[in-house]
Structures are given as C-alpha cells and as structure tokens.
A and B are shown apart, each in its own frame.
Chain A
C-alpha cells in the first residue's frame, strides 16, 4: 500500500509525540513510586530507573512499624498519618456531598423556575470563579475565629463548599439546559409535582453531570493546601496535604517516606482517573467551553 509508506514519517512522528507526552505525564509519578520502593541506602547512591531491590519499609513506617535510621529509632508516623488520612477523606467527602446537593437543586431553580434576580444572582455566583480564593482568606479567618469554626470539619467543609460551588452550579445548569423540557412536562401532566419530577426524572437523567461535578469537587478538595494550612492547625482536621510536607522539617528529609506518603495520597485521584475519566473530562470541557 502506497499510503502506508507515505504516511510512515507522520506515523513515527505521532508515535514519538505520544511517547513524549506519556513520559512527561507519568515519568515523575513513576519515579516517585520507584523511590518509595527503594531501600534508604540505595536512595543515596546513583539512581537507577528500575529498583534493584524492592522494599516496603517506607510504607511500613507509615502504617505502624518502628524503624531504625542512621542509628536512631524512628517512631512510626501512623498515628498522624491515619488521622490526616481520615481528615482528608472526611473533609473532601463532606465538601463533595454538600456541594453537589446544593448545586443539583439550586441549578434547577436557575434553569426551570422564575424568580426575581435570577440571572443576576447566577452571574454573581459564577463570577466568583475568577476571584482567587485567597482574596477572601483573611476576613474568612477572622469570621471563622468569631464563629469558633477554626479546626472543625464544619468550618473546612463550609469554606470548600463556598469555593467549589460556583463550578458545580455552572456544570449542573448546563446539564439541565441541555435537557428537553418535554420529559418534565409529561410528568406534570400526570400530576407529578416539581420536586417529585426533579428527584425522580431530572436527577437520574443528570447522573453523568452529577458524577462530573462530584469528581471535580472531590479532586479540588483533596488537593487543597493553603486553606487547611490556615484553617486546620492541628490533627483534629489537618489533611494529608498539610501533614506530608511536615515530614521535611524533622531532623533529616526522609524522601523515601515522603514519596511513599505521596503515593498513598494520590491513590484516590488515580482511581478516579482510571475509572471515571470520561465524566471528569466531560466536566472539564463543559466547565471550560460554555
């Protein structure tokens, strides 16, 4: 076939480009994984792209084993690590549920119901996407102190909801807008009320949009650093993102431990990308192109 030969350079070019993109995206994660499995002494030698010897001692240190390093007994960090892991899961989970519920019901009102100031309110809320979250951190800090919500799940969740609600609201509104109203009208003719129609017909049909909003909210909350740095001073609510960098400030920087902790911290996002990437990408695209 002539075309096979004439397109060969193009095919090779594409293959090289794909390889570069994959290496760029996965290389650092692969290197972190290799580091987390390399014995501490080997980390101080010439790096090899393939671990010559695999060890789980960095992970063991995270989940409970007391170890000896440079002649000193090193206490396990499991008490802190497990608390931070729970905090990350609780705050991200709560933020996701609250955000998606408020957005799912609120966006419906913005699309299907008439009320005074509807469009103005929507524009105002979505416009806050362009305002950096850090702009309001200082007054928020004083507010949270006066409400005694510093270092509480409620406080952190509320801040996350206020930060991630506009995007979820925008996504859900575009989902409802794309939905033909005839389905709902059929239900109304059968005597179903607004709320019944919303819960039993609109929401199930909007599942992909709900999943996309949930994923985006969860990922944003899971990766948050500056908000908990200010609002989560103790292990009562401190998440992994704030705890892991603290491993640096010990007497030496334990890169094996930090990479192992990092690998554990990226498991939830990696699982989401592996299994729900379709929804994630559609959410990113919808959020960006409307």
Chain B
C-alpha cells in the first residue's frame, strides 16, 4: 500500500506517517467491505450452496430465479410500500418538527433532546414497545380507539396486510424521523434572517415565503434527508422482523435475503438479491438528489 513516490512529498517521513495512519483504514475497509462486496458480486454468478456439491458458474441464473420467485416479488412490493410510506411520513413529520424547533426559543435544547431520543434507542426495543401497544387483546391502540369510538371491536392489526405494512412503517418512522428533523433543522438555521424580512416586505405570506425562500435554500439538506430516509427504509429489517417475523405480509427484501441465505442456506441467491437491493436503493436516492437539485434551483 505504501509504495513511496518521492516526487510529491517534501519530507519522506511524512509519507511513512501517512501510511501508518491510513493502513488500519485500508485493512479494515478493504478486508471487511470492499473485498466482500467484490466477492458478493462475483459469487452471485455462481451456485454457492452448502447443501449441494460444487460451485458451478451459472451466469444470471440466480437473478433469473429471483425474478420468477413469488416470495421475492412480494418482498419487493412490501419494501416499496415501506419506502413510500416512510419517506413521505418522515419528510412531512421531520419538516414540521424542524420548523417548530427552529421557531421555539425557550428550552429548544430540551425539545431537541426529546425529538432525537427515538433515533438513539435500539430499533429492537422500539419494535417491542410498539408491539405491546399494537397487542390485539391488551394493547393501548385497541383500547384507545374503542374508547374514542373509532372502532367497535378489538382488531388484530397484523391480520390485514395493508394495516400491518402501515404499522411497521410507523414504527420505522418513529425511529427515523428525528434524523430528517435534525438534517432539515441544520439547513433551516443556515438561512439568513433578512431574507425572510425581505420576502415579508415584498408582501409574501408565510406559505409563499416558505416556498420561495425556505425550500430553495434547504434543497441540498432536503436531498440528503430524502436519500437517508430511502436507504434506511430499503434496509428495513429489525422492525418487521420483531413485529411479525418471517410473515410474507410484512416481509421486506432484507428479510428475504436473511431467510434465503441464513435459513435456507442459498448463499449465492441471497447475494444476488442483496446486490439488487443495494442497486435499487442507490438508484432511488440518486433520483432524489438530482430532482431536488434541479427543481429548487432558481438561477
């Protein structure tokens, strides 16, 4: 790694020091991320299955069988539903929380701490707490809705797929919304106050000044927040796994990867699916970044 090229460095000791400081990063990231990533891509073209002898080259067969597999298709649809609900709810909620935090003057630090807290907790614990709230017999949700008269009989929430997907998303949103809020708050705080003053003098109301001043100026923050929401929702595992395990109704793509690889021991098929999941989440976040950039720039 540290082959010296003396044409640039003035002091040879500097290069040796740089090598010493950077080698741990190269070793850890190379060995545990880049190399596995490369083998993941390569191995997805072979049949690697501890239960069957040999590892023949199979080309795109793993990918082909994924397309044909009904469970995998269901998992993709669930994941798209998670991404859509999570991104919309996190962005709306996070924007609201950020605008509120930006306005509150007394005790902002405390409100910020309270807002951030759900993000800091282990997702598994969050899911358990919500699982108890969603409990069909003794859960708070059923009791509250009965008491309010919204429903007239207890519901087994996870019996209905749409409801189940929504509730899993809700738990995910509860955890991830703080991140969106903090990112947008940082963006809001970088807007100079006099721009709002100028907009007000020009007769812009709160909505117009939000659209013409706030939105364009937080666009890069918004793009980052949207990408984060997307990547995390694509990788939803903990909440769905705790709330309803391997149930096909709520199975996400990552749960499908886990089941394929670590329960059915079809390694190469799991690798092919995880690579598709990675590409999909990268592509969707790239679209956001480009669109938000284009649409909110007024030059």
Query: Which residues of A are in contact with B by a Cβ distance under 8 Å?
Result: 14, 17-18, 21-22, 24-26, 28-29, 31-32, 35, 43-47, 102, 105-106, 108-110, 113-116, 118, 121, 124-125, 128, 130-143, 158-159, 161-162, 165-166, 169, 194-195, 219, 222-226, 229-230, 240-242, 244-245, 255, 258-259, 262, 265-266, 269-270, 272-274, 277-278, 280-281, 284-285, 288-289
Contacts and interface: CB of A to CB of B under 8 A. Distances in A.
Given A25-B114, A289-B187, A225 B238 contact: yes
A206 to B, nearest CB: 15
B68 interface: no
Contacts of A25: 114-115, 117-118, 178
B29 A135 contact: no
Contact of B254 (A113, A134, A158, A169): A134
B71 interface: no
Contacts of B178: 25
29 contacts: A24-B174, A29-B121, A35-B132, A44-B137, A47-B143, A105-B21, A113-B14, A113-B18, A125-B25, A132-B281, A137-B257, A138-B40, A138-B257, A139-B271, A162-B29, A169-B25, A230-B262, A241-B123, A259-B128, A259-B129, A265-B122, A266-B122, A277-B112, A277-B116, A284-B182, A285-B182, A288-B182, A289-B186, A289-B224
Given A114-B9, A225-B124, A269-B117, 14 more contacts: A29-B121, A43-B138, A105-B24, A108-B21, A113-B14, A130-B285, A132-B278, A135-B278, A138-B257, A159-B32, A225-B237, A273-B120, A285-B185, A289-B220
Contacts of B138: 43-45, 47, 255
A280 B120 contact: yes
A161 B122 CA distance: 18
Interface residues of B, number: 94
A218 to B, nearest CB: 10
A17 B271 contact: no
A28 B130 contact: yes
B274 A138 contact: yes
Interface stretch (B95-103, B161-169, B194-202, B208-216): B95-103
Interface in B25-51: 25-26, 28-29, 31-37, 39-40, 43
Contacts of A118: 18
B125 interface: yes
B199 to A, nearest CB: 18
Contacts of B124: 223, 225, 241-242, 244-245
The 7 closest A-B pairs by CB, nearest first: A162-B32, A223-B122, A139-B36, A136-B36, A285-B186, A109-B21, A115-B18
Nearest to A108: B21
B150 interface: no
A28 B130 CA distance: 7
Given A106-B25, A113-B17, A288-B228, A21 B97 contact: yes
Contacts of A142: 267
B83 interface: no
A165 to B, nearest CB: 6
A35 B271 CA distance: 41
Nearest to A132: B235
Contacts of A288: 179, 182-183, 186, 221, 224-225, 228
B15 interface: yes
Contacts of A289: 183, 186-187, 190, 220-221, 224
Contacts of B132: 31-32, 35, 255, 258-259
Contacts of A165: 25, 28-29
Contacts of B120: 219, 223, 269-270, 272-273, 280
Contacts, number: 267
B84 interface: no
Contacts of A272: 120
B183 A135 contact: no
Given A14-B104, A26-B114, A125-B25, A137 B18 contact: no
B88 interface: no
A245 B128 contact: yes
Contacts of A140: 32, 36
Nearest to A242: B124
Nearest to A134: B254
Given A128-B33, A135-B278, A259-B132, A244 B125 contact: yes
Nearest to A272: B120
Contacts of B237: 134, 225-226
Contacts of A121: 22, 25-26
A223 B121 contact: yes
A273 B113 contact: yes
A105 B18 CA distance: 9
A18 B100 contact: yes
